[in-house]
Amino acid sequence: MRLRTEQLAGQLTKQLLPVYLLSGDELLIQQECADAIRQHCRQQGITERDVLEAERGFDWNALLEAGQSLSLFADRKLIELRLGGARMDQKSSAALQQYLEHADGSNILLITCGRLDSRSLNAKWVKAIDQAGAVVQIWPVDRRQLGGWIQQRLKDNGMSADREAAELLADRVEGNLLAADQEIQKLKILLGEQAVSLETVAAAVASSARYDIFKLIDAALAGNAAYALNMYNGLVAEGSEEIPMLGAISRELRSLYNCAAAIEQGNGIDRVLDGARVWDKRKNLYKRCLGQHSVGSLSRLLQLAGRLDAAQKGQSDESPRLLFTELITGLAGQSVISYPH
């Protein structure tokens, strides 16, 4: 069957199909559709997952073996086949059709790929998926629709905005949904769950023109302590509020801590990052940072953030500036100077 993205949730509540194909270039929507399928698999007791990357030289027998292999821990599993921009040739098409011919519905196959043109949508392998499961085409959000999309997204995050504020934000992100979602998350961290006005959006955009806390965090995750500290000093010099800045860093630390804990329990890092909904473009930053840190070191950084919070509120005699420097340096994986407390 062919489904629109807004129809997927309703279909999943009725039945979990043997195969899903998510096709499109809107990475945010594709990721969220994939998350919805993963969630319903877990609800059905399907907790094991095989991830296959169909890169150059990929052995398509691996797909057939994944479908036939038995698990020691579960009767069913989710198989994710990530085509990316790879083109399906006769061999790969035949392998996929062979998999579907022998599939009995025990395992769920989730295929993701870029946008398929009309010719590809009529290919035998797509028709086979259409017959056995669902093909979900993910269309770009038109600029005329983007303001409404942003308003709905804000509502989903417990916020609201009038049309003018949403349109300004739409202009700011220039049609990039990932950027739009990032801006909404930034507003939520800075403002909490409340109405977003035109003036608020304009001020938030203006305040991030030179430096912003999210670029600072990425620099620290990359291990560039000097650059991160330079941005911190720039933000302070521009009059940025340090309490919201700490909130953003603390949120990232909690995410890193949860990832590190899951990895220490034996989970693969790629699966952990997918579960934490880390964007593809930030996964290398997370991997680098998690390679430098353990659950223990991240726990100590969270404790340091707690001390900084107390210092910012005047509940201790420690210097917020020194503690902030220590926190940024520590997150970057550099040696941390201990200050008396």
pLDDT of residue 209: 41
Q: Which residues are paired to 53 by β-bridges? A: 82
Do the beta carbons of residue 37 and residue 12 sit within 8 Å?
Answer: yes
pLDDT higher than 80, residue 42? yes
pLDDT of residue 79: 86
More confident residue, 325 or 178: 325
pLDDT of residue 74: 59
Mean pLDDT of the chain, nearest integer: 84
Question: Whole-prediction pTM value?
Answer: 0.57
Q: What is the pLDDT of residues 200-219, one digit of tens each?
A: 787 765 544 445 788 889 99
Q: What is the pLDDT of residues 131-187, one digit of tens each?
A: 888 999 988 888 888 888 999 889 888 888 888 888 888 877 767 788 788 888 888
Alpha-carbon gap, residue 53 to 59, rounded angstroms = 10
Q: What is the pLDDT of residues 92-111, one digit of tens each?
A: 888 888 888 887 778 889 99
The H or E element spanning position 285 is: helix 280-292
**pLDDT average, residue stretch 41-65:** 81
Q: Which of 34, 119, 116, 136 is nearest to 78 (CA)?
A: 34
Domains of the chain: 2-138 (3.40.50.300), 143-209 (1.10.8.60), 214-331 (1.20.272.10)
Tracing tokens 């011919």 back to the chain, one arrives at 101
Do the beta carbons of residue 30 and residue 138 sit within 8 Å?
Answer: yes
